[in-house]
C-alpha cells in the first residue's frame, strides 16, 4: 500500500484550511478551549474565529458548553466517523477473525491502516474475559507513529524506500521510549527483516510496559492494505510467549483475513 504524499495544493481554500486547523486544536483540547485561547492557537482574529465556530456549531460539528462557554468538537463528527468506518470493507471482513483471535488469546487485537504517514486504528477488539493488570490506552481513531509500533513497521516494510524516506522527513523518528529506533539506517535494516519474516514486534518501543506483534493484510492484488496486531502488557506478553505462540497466531489470522479478501499466496 503506497503512502499518499502530503503535498499542500496551490489552490487550497482558505476557509477550509482554517476550519481544519480549528478541528485539530479542538481535538487536542479534551477539556474544551475558550474563544480567546482558540483564536490565539489558530492565529486568527477573535471575530473571524467566532464566525467560523458559529457556523460549525449550527451544523453540529462544534459545540459550546453553557457553563464555561468553552468549545469542543461536535457530535456530528461521531456520525461521520461511524459512516467512514462502515464504508471500510476490510473492517467488516476482518471483524469475525479479530473477535475469534481476541477470545482465543485473551488479549487486545487491533486493525490498522496507513493514513497521512501514521498508523490509524480502525478497529479494536478486546476479549470478554479481560485479564487484570495494565490495560491498553488505544482506541479507534487513534494515530500512532509508524516507526515504533508493530503495525506501523509492518506497513512501512511494504512500501518503497523512497516513501519510507518521505515519511522520515515528514514525521522524523521521535524518541518515545529507550527502545525506540531513531536512526534511519537502523530502521531501514529493521524493515527489511520485518518484510522477510512476515511480522514485526514492538518491544516497548512506543509505550513503556506494552509489547505487540503485528502482521500484514494483503488484498486480491497482493498489496498490503492494513495490518493487525496483538498487544498487551509485558507482564503477560513475555518474549517467550510472543515467539512461541503469539507470532504464530497473528500470522495465521492475518493469512485468513487476506484469503477472505481474495489474496492467493504464490511461491513458498
Domain that holds residue 69: 14-79
> Do residues 251 and 160 share a domain?
yes
> Do residues 172 and 202 share a domain?
yes
> Do residues 44 and 107 share a domain?
no
Q: What is the pLDDT along the chain (268 residues), one digit of tens a residue?
A: 444 445 667 777 888 999 999 999 999 998 999 999 999 999 999 999 999 999 999 999 999 998 889 999 998 888 887 776 655 678 888 999 999 999 999 999 999 999 888 999 999 998 877 665 555 566 888 889 999 999 999 999 999 999 999 999 888 899 999 999 999 999 999 999 999 999 999 999 999 999 999 999 998 888 899 999 999 999 999 999 999 999 999 999 999 999 988 888 776 5
Number of domains in the chain: 2
> Do residues 30 and 101 share a domain?
no
> Do residues 133 and 174 share a domain?
yes
In a domain, 194, yes or no: yes
- Give me the CATH number covering residue 39: 1.10.10.10
Closest CA to 207 of 137, 102, 259, 112: 137
Give the CA count within 13 Å in the CB-facing half-sphere of 161. 7
d(CA 47, CA 147): 41
In a domain, 7, yes or no: no
d(CA 120, CA 143): 5
pTM for this model (two decimals): 0.70
For 157: left if phi > 0, alpha if psi spans -120 to 50, otherwise beta; the answer is alpha
- Give me the CATH number covering residue 148: 3.30.450.40
In a domain, 101, yes or no: yes
> Do residues 252 and 149 share a domain?
yes
> Do residues 68 and 118 share a domain?
no
Closest CA to 1 of 225, 221, 219, 257: 225
Closest CA to 139 of 118, 111, 102: 111
Beta partners for residue 63, in sequence order:
72
In a domain, 1, yes or no: no
> Do residues 231 and 140 share a domain?
yes
> Do residues 32 and 103 share a domain?
no
> Do residues 92 and 75 share a domain?
no
Amino acid at each position: 500500500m503506497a503512502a499518499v504524499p502530503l503535498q499542500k495544493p496551490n489552490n487550497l481554500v482558505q476557509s477550509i484550511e482554517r476550519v481544519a486547523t480549528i478541528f485539530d486544536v479542538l481535538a487536542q483540547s479534551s477539556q474544551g478551549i475558550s474563544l480567546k485561547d482558540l483564536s490565539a492557537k489558530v492565529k486568527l482574529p477573535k471575530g473571524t474565529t467566532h464566525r467560523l465556530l458559529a457556523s460549525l456549531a449550527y451544523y453540529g460539528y462544534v459545540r459550546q458548553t453553557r457553563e464555561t462557554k468553552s468549545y469542543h468538537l461536535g457530535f456530528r463528527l461521531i456520525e461521520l466517523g461511524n459512516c467512514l468506518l462502515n464504508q471500510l470493507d476490510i473492517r467488516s471482513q476482518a471483524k469475525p477473525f479479530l473477535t475469534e483471535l481476541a477470545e482465543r488469546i485473551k488479549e487486545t487485537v487491533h486493525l490498522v491502516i496507513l493514513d497521512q504517514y501514521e498508523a490509524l486504528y480502525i478497529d479494536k477488539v478486546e476479549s470478554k474475559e479481560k485479564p487484570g493488570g495494565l490495560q491498553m490506552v488505544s482506541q479507534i481513531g487513534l494515530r500512532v507513529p509508524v516507526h515504533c509500533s508493530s503495525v506501523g513497521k509492518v506497513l512501512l516494510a511494504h512500501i518503497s524506500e523512497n516513501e519510507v524516506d518521505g515519511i522520515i522527513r515528514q514525521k522524523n523518528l521521535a524518541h518515545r521510549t529507550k527502545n525506540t529506533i531513531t536512526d534511519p539506517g537502523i530502521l531501514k535494516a529493521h524493515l527489511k527483516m520485518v518484510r522477510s519474516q512476515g511480522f514485526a514486534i514492538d518491544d516497548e518501543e512506543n509505550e513503556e510496559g506494552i509489547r505487540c506483534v503485528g502482521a500484514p493484510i494483503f488484498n486480491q492484488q497482493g498489496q498490503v492494505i492494513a495490518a493487525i496486531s496483538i498487544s498487551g502488557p509485558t507482564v503477560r506478553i513475555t518474549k517467550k510467549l510472543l515467539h512461541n505462540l503469539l507470532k504464530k497466531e497473528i500470522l495465521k489470522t492475518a493469512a485468513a483475513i487476506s484469503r477472505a479478501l481474495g489474496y492467493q499466496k504464490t511461491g513458498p
